[in-house]
Amino acid sequence: MALNVDYKQLLEAQKDENILIVDVREHAEINETGKLPGSINIPMDDVKNVFLNLSKEEFEERYGKHKPDKDTKIIFSCRSGRRSGIVQETVQKLGYTKAYNYTGGWLDWEDKQKKN
């Protein structure tokens, strides 16, 4: 199920504390560019394990956000939208029905931010 968000929808989501934004790039990429404001970083290969195995307390302690429930709106982002799309499919199979992909990713974010 391809649920996507664009730049404007992401800006709105950043104002809503009930929406979890997850950047799935590697730590080295985040260190190089920074991350989307309001997002947490869980590298792509770790997402399934984190969502399945971390308790609510462990998740909150590690990321400073509430662990998402199956009906929490979650937006995944990466550099260009490809990896986040794969992660989106993975968590949808785990039962997270409101998993979205920011299809433009960091490249789109950075481009639009420079124009503002």
Tally of domains within the chain: 1
Answer whether 0.85 is exceeded by the pTM.
yes
Q: How high does pLDDT run on average in the chain?
A: 95
Note whether 74 and 98 are within 8 A (CB): yes
- Output the furthest CA–CA distance in the chain (Å, rounded): 41
Secondary structure (3-state) at 76: strand
Residue 116 has pLDDT above 90, yes or no: no
Segments forming the whole domain that contains residue 57:
4-115
Position 115 scores a pLDDT of: 85
**CATH code at position 67:** 3.40.250.10
For residue 78, indicate whether it is catalytic: yes
Using DSSP, state whether 101 is helix, strand or coil.
strand
pLDDT at 1: 62
Give the chain's end-to-end CA distance (angstroms, integer).
32
Averaged pLDDT for residues 54-72? 97
DSSP state of 15: T
pLDDT digits (tens, 9 = 90+) for 1-45: 679 999 999 999 999 999 999 999 999 999 999 989 999 999 999
DSSP state of 67: P
**pLDDT tens digits, 65-101:** 999 999 999 999 999 999 999 999 999 999 999 999 9
pLDDT at res. 6: 95
Catalytic residue among 13, 44, 78, 99: 78
Backbone angles phi, psi at 102, to 5 degrees: -80, 100
Which alpha helices (H) appear in the chain, and where do they start and end? 7-13, 27-33, 47-53, 56-63, 82-93, 105-115
pLDDT at 60: 97
For 10, phi and psi rounded to 5 degrees? -65, -40
